[in-house]
Amino acid sequence: MARHLITSALPYINGIKHLGNMVGSMLPADVYSRYLRQRGHEVLYICATDEHGTPAELAAKERGVPVDTFCAQAHDAQKAVYDGFELAFDHFGRSSSEQNRGITQHFARRLNENGFIEERAIRQVYSPTDGRFLPDRYVEGTCPHCGYDKARGDQCENCTRVLDPTDLINPRSAISGSTDLEVRETKHLFLLQSKLQHEVEAWVSLHEEEWPQLASSIARKWLTEGLHDRAITRDLDWGVPVPADTWPELAAEGKVFYVWFDAPIEYIGATKEWADAAPAGEVRDWKSWWYEADDTVRYTEFMAKDNVPFHTVMFPATELGVREPWKKVDYVKAFNWLTYYGGKFSTSQKRGVFTDHALDILPADYWRYFLIANAPESDDSSFTWEHFTTTVNKDLADTLGNFVNRVLSFSRKRFGDEVPAGAAAGGTEAKLGEEIAGLLAEYETQMEALQFRKAAAALRALWSAGNSYLEEKAPWLEIKTDPDGAALTLRTAMNLIHLYSVVSEPFIPASAKAMRSAFALADDTAVWVSADEAKSLDAVPAGTAFTVPPVLFAKITDEDLESYKERFGGVPE
């Protein structure tokens, strides 16, 4: 079996994320990780909070707490939400860790030794009042294009134009508000990506045919436009410091590495965090996943399209320039954006669903299933409450939940609290078994191909097959003339419930557990269902005690729908 290294784009530390962030990286990575574990593969799923950069410092300042305190609290808050969504990370780390600091500084030293880092003088805004150079986002002012008076020095949030701090009208320091600003010369480190262009092109060419078109086209676009040398240091108080043994002058000035230099390295750093956190007596070899990893390690990254250039071009350039055998990504699963009624999710305008609020109103499985079944794989997709309600009510409540409830409730009412024996399986059951085996094969094919919407459709078809069988056999009528036949029908349907509990686990883990625990199977160690098992449908034998679980999925009412739209905002104007 292959060893699968899986990472999802690091969520930025500043604020709880919305549903688009969830479906664009962490959730599909979790679904895929769960599936691979069930199929017997060794899996290491790594993620972390991305904690450096200007926004973290500014957010901490607004709250009146030290930035390290803010990041620690925000990390815990995000982790609580991800636990609520049942994201089964092997480790959820922090880019501010000592492990990431050490590996980032190592990468910088090696790049420098190999001639891929250069110290250059640039002109930058300086605030005498604050006694420091100001990164782009530390400069605010009026946008010259739209007149918005809170534009940042890198981009206007109102009109989205990219800016330079010197473009702003009446610029001021975001720290002190001082308008006493100067432009002075200072030195920064530049990663000479231009010298690595051909190596990155050669590396991308080995993979782009396998990658989804979205990922390969973005990588090719950046390479066609040419890689430019990029400043990889900033004037901030919070970040991985430039090592004094290599750049003493810059270290003395307090320079730190740019967040987009150290953040991808945190995938490695977090893996070392995982190894260092091993329980007593357990040894975890983090380097076997990253350094001189053998051919059995397959590395898959999950991310939204705005992160693709950094992971398909910039970080590979860094790894290539280090001239050490660090593992590079094999497959990039890129997603388009999930919108809210066609517009942006917005905290300030109270529009859209954020992950903590989602869990406040409905269990995680409702969201997990809907998001994966409608993942923005080929195009941007739009979240609407109407679509969400229809999907939950039709697929989860009616197709799966109702099947489970009526089968178990009817069987208990007519045959008691044990799986009934009844007649031997006949032609209808054999036909059903063949259908289930075929649908399961389709489900496996789509999961292996990381085609999540198609996988969800195959899973939905598996659920529907049970309903079709039940309607064909109609045990509520059958029991009047053929009790043994009705018992066979219910026994077969119960075996379908058990099968659903196993194969649905990647999508809806809590509901899968509830279905599985309905049966008192002492030696139920099945991790997956083989084609032969799917055909025979006999994993739950007659005489097995069972219970009827609470309703798996409550329907969303029209009143619920209207209240959600009112609370979270309707159609953007």
Q: Could you list the residues known to form a binding site, using ranges.
A: 143, 146, 156, 159, 347
Contact 318, 328 (CB under 8 A): no
Give the span between the Cα atoms of 465 and 165, in whole angstroms: 61
Q: What are 156's two structure tokens?
A: 């206007």
- The CA distance from 266 to 103, in Å, is 8
The phi-psi region of residue 45 (left if phi > 0; otherwise alpha if psi is between -120 and 50; otherwise beta) is beta
Two structure tokens written together for 392: 């939950």
Beta strands per DSSP E along 128-275 = 132-133, 139-142, 151-152, 169-173, 182-191, 230-231, 233-234, 256-257
499 within 8 A of 507, measured Cβ to Cβ: no
Q: b/e string for 264-283 if b means 16 or more Cβ within 10 A?
A: bbbbbbbbbbbbeeeeeeee
d(CA 147, CA 335): 34
Nearest to 153 by CA among 139, 174, 133, 169: 139
Question: Three-state SS string across 207-233, please?
Answer: CCCCCCHHHHHHHHHHHHHCCCCEECE
Q: List the binding residues for ATP.
A: 347
Q: Is 246 helix (H, G, I), strand (E, B) or coil?
A: coil
Residue 286 near residue 271 (C-beta atoms within 8 A)? yes
CB 420 within 8 A of CB 542: yes
Indicate the pairing of strand 256-257 with strand 151-152. unpaired
Residue numbers in the known binding site for Zn(2+) are: 143, 146, 156, 159
Residue closest to 187 by CA, chosen among 240, 149, 232, 222 = 232
Q: Compute how many other C-beta atoms are within 10 angstroms of the C-beta atom of residue 351.
A: 18
Structure tokens, 316: 């590979």
> What CA–CA distance (Å, rounded) separates 571 from 573?
6
Question: Residue-wise over 213-251: b if at least 16 C-beta within 10 A, else e?
Answer: ebbbebbbebbeeebebbebbbbbebbbbbbeeebeebe
Q: What DSSP string describes 288-353?
A: HHHBS--TTEEEEEEEEGGGHHIIIIIHHHHHHHHTS-B---SEEEEE--EEETTB--BTTTTBS-
Instruction: Give the residues across from 183 on adjacent strands.
Output: 125
| Cβ count within 10 A of residue 314 | 21
Residue pointed to by tokens 């191909």? 449
Rounded CA-CA distance 218/332 in Å is 11
Gap between the Cα atoms of 200 and 219, Å rounded: 10
Cα–Cα distance, 97 to 272 (Å, whole number): 10
